Amino acid sequence: MDARSIIAGVRDRRGLPPEAAAWFARGLADGSVSDAQAGAFAMAVLLNGIGEAGRVALTEAMRDSGLVMKWDLPGPVIDKHSTGGVGDSVSLLLAPALAACGVYVPMISGRGLGHTGGTLDKMEAIPGYRALPGTEALRKVVAEVGCAIVGATDEIAPADRRLYGIRDISGTVESIDLITASILSKKLAAGLEGLVLDVKVGTGAFMATPEDAQALAHSLVKTANDAGCKTSALITDMNQSLGHTAGNALEVMEVMEILTGAGMNEALWDVTAALGGEALMLAGLVEDAEAGAEKIDDAIETGRAAEIFGKMVAALGGPLDFVERYPDRLPSAPVVRLVPAPGDGFVSSVNARALGEAVVHLGGGRLVGSDKVNPSVGLSALAEIGEPRSRGEPLAIIHASSDAAADAAQAAVLAAYAMSEVQPEEPDLIHERIGP
């Protein structure tokens, strides 16, 4: 078997048998498959597809190209994955809430991609937090605390790490087959018993149309279940920022306000509870998702989730008093500016992607891979669809490193918001459930 014959098989629509997927994944991991061959493979998959069986084969092969974790814990091992959005800090709420309900959560997360925020970038806004502690530290913290939000080590799915970079430069990012295998190979390498997926749809999502979101959700759910991991998905709205904030430290601040009872964001809470309910049902700890959502609500309301979040932060190098002193511990930007509404009316629509791009250009994300993220910048007090505004009232608050950066962000925010005289209906928060 060789790379050329495997590429030709996909090119000629003969699919990707398990033995071919395993050979190619090993070649990606050890370098025996060249960049040119990897790019040709990715393009062949994009153009011709590999079918349901091929997706499972590629997912399992990339999972098995590195370390596959095994757990010996007194409770189920479950995780959640989001396809990416703006102001989406659900993971920071959900991991400790699930741990408070008896679930163990090795949440292997990623950094910001394009206009979307990254969970690791948010956690690294906490001073001292080690987002890449290594596999042994992950095992220890999950066993002792119940959850750990960390990044993948070089041992986890190395074939995916190689193919991911090739996809970015070869114009093949959009392939649902490759997206599916990429997401699931890393998650399944964490040794999960169950996985709940948050597939975003709307102006701030990678999948902007319902049809594309449904196709990805069905692919992920079917592939993960066929690979032996109980999985369901919720398609959730991303036609505006999920949180009232977008930006790393600002989103952590919002999460801490919810966990400690100092603030509330109903949309962020409701999505967290819905996904948590699915996770607890997959874990077999409740009869249905509704009962699971009630347990998540209770974990947050009683402060148990906040206590676990604090223990996780301390165990991974952050401040011991973070829960009590988070406003003092998180960095703040030197320039804070209101964005006034240009006239009277209701917020009728929001270009969430444009808001995410504004945060990136403020320095809260990366324009190129080598960029250093500024954790303090971003947007807060974001107006929601259906809310009234009078001329001069704020649509958002900008947190910037300079007046020039704030000027550019103000123009971007004003362009992202549309106003109308008639109050529109609020978009549904959860569009659909897809499960086994």
Distances (CA, A) of 401 to 155, 159, 362, 368, 406: 37, 38, 7, 19, 8
The partner residues of 231 in beta bridges, in order of sequence, read 195
Chain Cα centroid distance, residue 95: 12
**Which of 55, 63, 64, 80 is labelled catalytic?**
80
Q: Is residue 81 flagged as an active site residue?
A: yes
DSSP state letters, 62-122: HHTTS-------SS-BEEEEE---SS--HHHHHHHHHHHTT-BEEEEE---BTTB--HHHH
Q: Is residue 182 flagged as an active site residue?
A: yes
The partner residues of 13 in beta bridges, in order of sequence, read none
**Which of 59, 65, 119, 203 is labelled catalytic?**
119
Q: Distance between CA atoms of 234 and 236, rounded to whole angstroms?
A: 6
**Which of 115, 161, 186, 389 is labelled catalytic?**
186
**Which of 63, 161, 187, 200 is labelled catalytic?**
187
Q: Is residue 433 flagged as an active site residue?
A: no
Q: Distance between CA atoms of 347 and 344, rounded to whole angstroms?
A: 10
Q: Is residue 295 flagged as an active site residue?
A: no
Helical segments of 209-288, H only: 210-226, 248-260, 266-282
Q: Distance between CA atoms of 374 and 378, rounded to whole angstroms?
A: 9
Tokens standing for residue 271? 């999505």
**Which of 55, 64, 65, 79 is labelled catalytic?**
79
Name the amino acid, one letter, at 375: P
**Which of 89, 175, 180, 182 is labelled catalytic?**
182
Say if residues 379 and 355 touch (Cβ distance below 8 Å): yes
Q: Distance between CA atoms of 156 and 204, rounded to whole angstroms?
A: 29
* Calculated CA dihedral for residues 24, 28, 30, 35, nearest 10 degrees: 120
Angle made by CA atoms 365, 369, 372, in degrees to the nearest 5: 50
Number of residues that this document lists for the chain: 436
Q: Is residue 79 flagged as an active site residue?
A: yes
Buried b (16+ CB within 10 A) or exposed e, 282-308: bbebbeebeebbebbbebbeeebbbbb
Instruction: Indicate the SS3 state at residue 418.
Output: strand
Q: Is residue 431 flagged as an active site residue?
A: no
**Which of 55, 81, 353, 389 is labelled catalytic?**
81
Q: How far apart are the first and last CA of the chain?
A: 35
Residue 193 CB neighbour total at 10 angstroms: 19
Helical segments of 106-172, H only: 119-123, 135-145, 158-170
299 Cβ contact list (under 8 Å, min separation 6) = 96, 97, 98, 100, 101, 305
Q: Is residue 119 flagged as an active site residue?
A: yes
Which residue numbers are catalytic?
79-82, 119, 167, 182, 186-187
